[in-house]
Amino acid sequence: MRASECPNEKIPDHDDRQESCRYPGTDCYPDSLLDAMLSGLIFFDSEGIIFRTNTTARKDLHLADSVAGCKLGDVCSIDFRGSNILADLLSRFQDPAVTQVPLTQDALLCTKDGKVSFFAAGRISRLERGHFVFAYRNTVDEMTNESMINIALSVSKIFPWFYDFEQQTMIIDQRYFDYTGIPTKDRTMTLEAFAERLHPDDRAAMAHAFALQLSGVYYPHSVPFRLRRGDDTYEWFEGQSAYLGQLKNMPYRIVGICMSTQTHKDTEKALTIAKDKAEQSDRLKSAFLANMSHEIRTPLNAIVGFSNLLAGGDPDISEEEADEYAALISKNCDYLLTLVSDILDLSRFEAGSMEFCFTNQPLGHILSDIHGKYADRIPAGVRFNLLVPPHDIRIDTDALRLRQVMEHLVGNALKFTEKGHIDLGYSLTGDGKEVRLFVTDTGCGIPSDMTEKVFDRFYKIDSFKQGAGLGLSVCKTIIEGMGGRIAVSSQPGKGSRFTVRLPMKQQK
């Protein structure tokens, strides 16, 4: 039978052992030894004629019990990126100095009919007297498992490691060093170097867990810790390890993983903050609803009471008292109107229906009107100053909304200032792109830990002062809606300064 016509069927009265007798130097290996090997073995001569195989090779390639006499190229092929490279590998043995030719990485070993194919790792080696052996290992499951593990590790930021007792170092996945930015040359790190990068508060727990593993005590629990990265920032990780076997009362090897949990920590922190804010908001809303009845009833009682006095025509009421009653009615009407307006604005913000009408307005004229409106309401002992440049400036703004904000800031200053002065004014910023409006007072001031909270809804510094805790929150929303920002600086007992920054020109 010609080699090129060799079928993958059993050939009668012909076996590998008989063929091995024709090729001295290979019959020293008994069949039982070759068949016990997990790697596939195919022996062939310089002409490429197979003269012996083991059970693993025949099973992997679905060959008959004997393929002796067949040519290697007629039995199988080695495919790499769509090309059969078997002939190229064999041609390298034309150089007498070549003793081994490894398979190309990711090469596929296939049968000629294409029914069987699998990834293989191995080499073709030169034997004595012009004989060769093709030794390989089926790596399909190995490569599949490795790929799946690598995908899982990369997505979840899990980094495997093991402790080498000979070198007394930790050998860690290269991705760990790439991710953390910790410099390395050979993927190793001593226990001392690792401990030095742990947060001081986490070293004891990690040392305890690792000491137990070193002594052969199984420790199944994960250990959270903070690790100092290459840029000196700390990141949360979680480590877990186990020991493999024991040798002379010591673990043979310790293996483990460390996983970045910073994302979970950030999410947990954000949820905690959101929960705290929700609880605080719920408390403030409850206080707001309880306070709203009082805030509405107080001006209504004043309006109704003094209106009845004036309408009753009591002759004992002097003209001076009547004017005072009328002023009180007007003051409480204004407060009630402001309160209702704030509530309506709040509902508009929640519904997303707040609209702005931008026009070019003289800023000094707007502040002058506000100054004139509140000049008569200033208590004795308090000066009300209007601080504006000599030449008026025009800006693109919603005049109605801007008045609402500035009047509220002036009203707040009046509420908390009993002596000193209140300043209302504006100035240009250094680059001329923004205008800075301010209301400064010499009132009771705001504690430093409350300066940011004053812009929260329903928040009141002094629960005994009149107000629902909505005004500054509404002011902030309006200013941000106009492309600006509002801030406060204050010193308890010395006063406060509210600053509004608005762009000169609105971006279309």
pLDDT for 457 = 66
Q: 164 lies in a domain?
A: yes
- Asked if residue 196 has pLDDT above 90, the reply is yes
491 plus 399 within the same structural domain: yes
Range of the domain at 488: 359-503
- Asked if residue 171 has pLDDT above 80, the reply is yes
Which CATH number covers residue 480? 3.30.565.10
Say which range, 48-52, 112-116, 142-146, 331-335, has the weakest mean pLDDT.
Answer: 331-335
Q: 120 lies in a domain?
A: yes
Say which range, 18-22, 116-120, 176-180, has the weakest mean pLDDT.
Answer: 18-22
188 plus 229 within the same structural domain: yes
pLDDT class for 295, splitting at 50, 70, 90? low
Query: Which residues is 386 bridged to in the sheet?
Result: 424
Which CATH number covers residue 15? 3.30.450.20
* Whether the Cβ atoms of residue 64 and residue 14 lie closer than 8 Å to each other: no
Between 314 and 75, the more confident residue is 75
Q: Which of 188, 185, 147 has the alpha carbon at shortest distance from 166? A: 188
Q: 278 lies in a domain?
A: no
SS3 224: strand
344 plus 363 within the same structural domain: no
- Asked if residue 464 has pLDDT above 70, the reply is no
SS3 sequence of 130-148 = HEEEEEEEECHHHHHHHHH
How many structural domains comprise the chain?
4
pTM of the model: 0.49
pLDDT for 284 = 67
Spell out the long-range contacts of 3-7 with Cβ–Cβ below 8 A and sequence spacing 24 or more: 3/48, 3/49, 3/69, 3/70, 3/71, 3/74, 4/71, 4/74, 6/67, 6/69, 6/70, 6/71, 6/74, 6/75, 7/64
Q: 271 lies in a domain?
A: no
pLDDT for 507 = 62
